[in-house]
Amino acid sequence: MEKNSFLSTNCRQQREFQHHNYRNNCNLPPIFGQIFFMQQLIECVPNFSEGRDMTVIKQITDVIETVEKVHQAIAANKKVAFQYFDYNLQKEKVLKFDGWQYKLSPYILVWNNDQYYLVGYFEKYKKVTKFCLDRITCLEILEEERIPQRDDFTVADYFEKEFSMLAGEHVKVELLCQNHLMSSMIDKFGSDLETEIVDDDHFKALVEVALSGTFYGWVFASRGAMKIIAPEKAKNRFDTLVSLYK
């Protein structure tokens, strides 16, 4: 496990006020939003005096460089292009689609659950999409102008919809997942996620969530690729909800 991942270390105490902090800052002018973001980033990186792990230091500097380029692109009203990687079962990085370039109209950087996300309009899917910042590599600013946000789009509402699964009382849930979900699980819960390989096609994950409609909807959206193993009350509640739609 990547215990030294700077996006999942030294930030646990912040979880309780992340949602409140973001909603209070998401409507600030861009320059104040950038200051808020960089303050959060600086507070969550390891102290360099604690060690000289060049891999960790390189990871930090790469993400800070990506952050700066994203801010530049937003300020200049330009699109960005980048490569994106997945994690295999050993949590090693593997470029998606053999290094294919993603093209995005960047809107904002979002902080949630010890992770940073780049939110913007993804042309391939023709919708607003989020990308985990520490899985982005080789980002460059394009000459093309951004596709503007829709009039009915608000960052606060998007944040509420996408990230509310961790709001409320937390419960430990054990999930059985197909292997292709490893990257999605790391995106949501961090690289120090507890996992165990079950067989050639599945792994188990122990995660902390609120047993809410958002959580059950997330499991349901996997179309059987993810199953709740424990606790029993979570499994039974999910089965009851699914039966209502049959």
Question: For the residues 79-83, what does the mean pLDDT come to?
Answer: 95
pLDDT at 25 over 50: no
Question: For the residues 85-104, what does the mean pLDDT come to?
Answer: 85
Question: For the residues 223-242, what does the mean pLDDT come to?
Answer: 90
Note the pTM of the prediction, 2 decimals.
0.55
Cis peptide before 231 (omega within 30 of 0): yes
Question: For the residues 52-80, what does the mean pLDDT come to?
Answer: 84
User: CA-CA distance, 148 to 190, in Å (whole number)?
Assistant: 31
* pLDDT level of residue 79 (50, 70, 90 thresholds): very high
Select, from the ranges 16-30, 38-52, 151-165, the one with the highest average predicted confidence (pLDDT): 151-165
DSSP 113: T
Token match 């990308």: residue? 131
3-state secondary structure of 89: coil
> pLDDT of 124-168, one tens digit each?
888 888 898 888 999 999 999 999 988 877 776 776 666 655 555
- In this structure, what token pair is assigned to residue 117? 């996300």
pLDDT at 44 over 60: no
User: CA-CA distance, 4 to 236, in Å (whole number)?
Assistant: 36
pLDDT of residue 189: 80
User: CA-CA distance, 210 to 97, in Å (whole number)?
Assistant: 33
pLDDT of residue 58: 73
Average pLDDT across the chain, whole number: 76
pLDDT of residue 120: 92
Give the total residue count for the chain.
246
pLDDT of residue 166: 52
Question: Which residue type, as a one-letter code, is found at position 32?
Answer: F
pLDDT of residue 113: 61
DSSP 102: E
> pLDDT of 180-191, one tens digit each?
999 888 877 877
pLDDT of residue 190: 75
User: CA-CA distance, 129 to 155, in Å (whole number)?
Assistant: 12
3-state secondary structure of 235: helix
pLDDT of residue 167: 55
Which stretches within the chain are classed as H helix?
Answer: 15-25, 30-44, 54-76, 155-163, 182-189, 213-221, 232-244
Torsion of CA 18, 23, 25, 29, to 10 degrees: 150
Spatial neighbors of 136 by CB under 8 A, at least 6 apart, are: 66, 82, 83, 84, 118
User: CA-CA distance, 31 to 119, in Å (whole number)?
Assistant: 17
Q: Name the percent of the chain lying above pLDDT 90.
A: 30
CA distances from 44 to 8, 70, 115, 220 (A): 8, 19, 10, 33
